[in-house]
C-alpha cells in the first residue's frame, strides 16, 4: 500500500513524548483560518511512499530518537486511515511508540470498525479541538465539531491516552466562556494526559503568499505566551468544575 506524504521530519520535539520521527500526511478537509500548513490541503498529491519505506527511514534515525517514536500528522492523517493502520502495524511489530496528531474530523461514530483496528495500534492521540461551540467551530474551520467531540469520547472509552491541543487566536478562540466550557468537556475524558494551549502566530503568512492564497486572519496579532497561559488556566477551571460535579456554567 502507498500513501500520499507531504514530508517527514527526523527530529520532532513537539509532536508527542521524546524525540520523534514525524510523518506529515497529505490531504485535509478542514480549512482552519489559522492553518500554518495550507500546502497539505490538497488530496491525492504529495510523494507516494510505502509504509515500509517510512519504517526504514525511522530505523535509519532511531539512535537519535530518544524516548520517542513515530507521529503521523498533516494535513489530516485519518484521511488515509488504511495506510496509517498499515504503518502502525509495522511499527508495533518493532515495538515503536505510535502517535496520531489529528483534528478527529473524519471520525464516524456509527461505523468504527476501521478506527477500532487503528486505535488498537495507537499509543497516544494528540487531538486538536479548535472551538467548543459548533457554530463558531464551523466559522473557523468550515465544519461543525460534533464528530470531533465524539472522537474524544470514543478515545476515552477505548482507554487511549489523549493530549488536547487548542490554538489561542485573539478575538477568535479566546472567549473565556467557551474556554471554560472546553475545560468542562475535556474534564470528561478519562484518559486525558495533557493540555497544550498554543499561542497563534503569523509565521505562515509568507507561505500563503507563495501559494497565492489570501491570508484569512489578516492583521490579527499573534497571541502572547501570557495570553495562552491565562487561557489554559480558564480551561483548567472548567475541567476542575466538571470533575467536582458542579453544574454547567
- CB within 8 A of 245, min separation 6: which ones? none
pLDDT confidence band for 27 (50 / 70 / 90): very high
Domain that holds residue 145: 2-243
Dist CA 244 CA 62 (whole Å):
43
Assigned domain for 182 exists? yes
Assigned domain for 249 exists? no
Assigned domain for 99 exists? yes
Assigned domain for 12 exists? yes
pLDDT > 90 fraction of the chain, expressed in percent and rounded: 90
- Kindly report the CATH number assigned to the domain that includes residue 234: 3.20.20.70
User: Residue 247 pLDDT > 70, yes or no?
Assistant: no
User: Residue 225 pLDDT > 70, yes or no?
Assistant: yes
Closest-CA residue to 7 (of 73, 99, 101) = 73
Cell numbers 473557523: residue: 140
Closest-CA residue to 125 (of 80, 82, 156, 90) = 156
- CB within 8 A of 17, min separation 6: which ones? 67, 68, 69, 97, 99, 124
- CB within 8 A of 38, min separation 6: which ones? 204, 207, 208, 211, 213
Dist CA 50 CA 26 (whole Å):
14
Assigned domain for 78 exists? yes
- CB within 8 A of 232, min separation 6: which ones? 195, 197
Assigned domain for 117 exists? yes
Mean pLDDT computed over 198-211: 92
pLDDT in tens, 56-99: 999 999 988 888 999 999 999 999 999 999 999 999 999 999 99
Number of domains in the chain: 1
The Cα angle at residue 19 between residues 16 and 22, in degrees rounded to 5: 65
Residue pair 192/164 in contact (Cβ under 8 Å)? The answer is yes
Structure confidence at residue 66 (pLDDT)? 84
Closest-CA residue to 39 (of 53, 49, 25) = 25
Closest-CA residue to 172 (of 206, 130, 134) = 130
pTM for the model: 0.95
User: Residue 52 pLDDT > 70, yes or no?
Assistant: yes
Closest-CA residue to 34 (of 135, 126, 99, 103) = 103
pLDDT in tens, 116-144: 999 999 999 999 999 999 999 999 999 99
Structure confidence at residue 123 (pLDDT)? 98
Does residue 216 have a cis peptide bond before it, meaning omega lies within 30 degrees of 0? no
Residue 249 CA from chain centroid, whole number: 27
The Cα angle at residue 185 between residues 184 and 188, in degrees rounded to 5: 95
Q: Phi then psi for 148, rounded to 5 degrees?
A: -65, -45
Assigned domain for 135 exists? yes
Mean pLDDT computed over 200-220: 92
Cell numbers 497516544: residue: 124
Three-class secondary structure of residue 119 per DSSP: helix
User: Residue 53 pLDDT > 80, yes or no?
Assistant: yes
Structure confidence at residue 249 (pLDDT)? 45
pLDDT in tens, 138-192: 999 999 999 999 999 999 999 999 999 999 999 999 999 999 999 999 999 999 9
User: Residue 248 pLDDT > 80, yes or no?
Assistant: no
**Strand partners of residue 100:** 72, 125
Assigned domain for 248 exists? no
Amino acid at each position: 500500500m502507498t500513501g500520499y506524504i507531504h514530508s517527514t521530519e527526523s527530529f520532532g520535539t513537539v509532536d508527542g513524548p521524546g524525540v520523534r520521527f514525524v510523518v506529515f500526511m497529505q490531504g485535509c478537509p478542514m480549512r482552519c483560518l489559522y492553518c500554518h500548513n495550507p500546502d497539505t490541503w490538497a488530496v491525492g498529491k504529495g510523494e507516494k511512499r510505502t509504509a515500509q519505506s517510512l519504517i526504514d527511514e525511522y530505523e535509519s534515525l532511531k539512535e537519535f530518537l530518544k524516548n520517542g517514536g513515530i507521529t503521523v500528522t498533516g494535513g489530516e492523517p485519518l484521511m488515509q486511515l488504511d495506510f496509517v493502520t498499515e504503518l502502525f502495524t509495522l511499527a508495533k511489530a518493532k515495538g515503536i511508540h505510535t502517535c496520531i496528531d489529528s483534528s478527529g474530523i473524519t471520525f464516524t461514530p456509527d461505523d468504527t470498525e476501521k478506527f477500532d483496528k487503528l486505535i488498537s495500534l495507537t499509543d497516544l492521540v494528540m487531538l486538536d479541538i479548535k472551538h467548543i461551540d459548533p457554530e463558531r467551530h464551523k466559522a473557523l474551520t468550515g465544519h461543525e465539531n460534533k464528530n470531533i467531540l465524539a472522537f474524544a469520547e470514543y478515545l476515552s472509552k477505548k482507554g487511549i491516552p489523549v493530549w488536547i491541543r487548542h490554538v489561542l487566536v485573539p478575538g477568535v478562540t479566546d472567549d473565556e466562556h467557551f474556554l471554560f466550557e472546553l475545560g468542562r468537556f475535556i474534564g470528561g475524558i478519562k484518559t486525558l494526559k495533557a493540555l497544550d494551549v498554543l499561542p497563534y502566530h503569523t509565521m505562515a503568512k509568507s507561505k500563503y503568499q507563495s501559494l497565492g492564497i489570501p491570508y484569512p486572519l489578516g492583521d490579527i496579532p499573534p497571541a502572547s505566551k501570557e495570553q495562552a497561559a491565562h487561557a489554559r488556566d480558564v480551561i483548567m477551571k472548567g475541567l476542575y468544575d466538571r470533575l467536582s460535579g458542579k453544574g454547567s456554567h
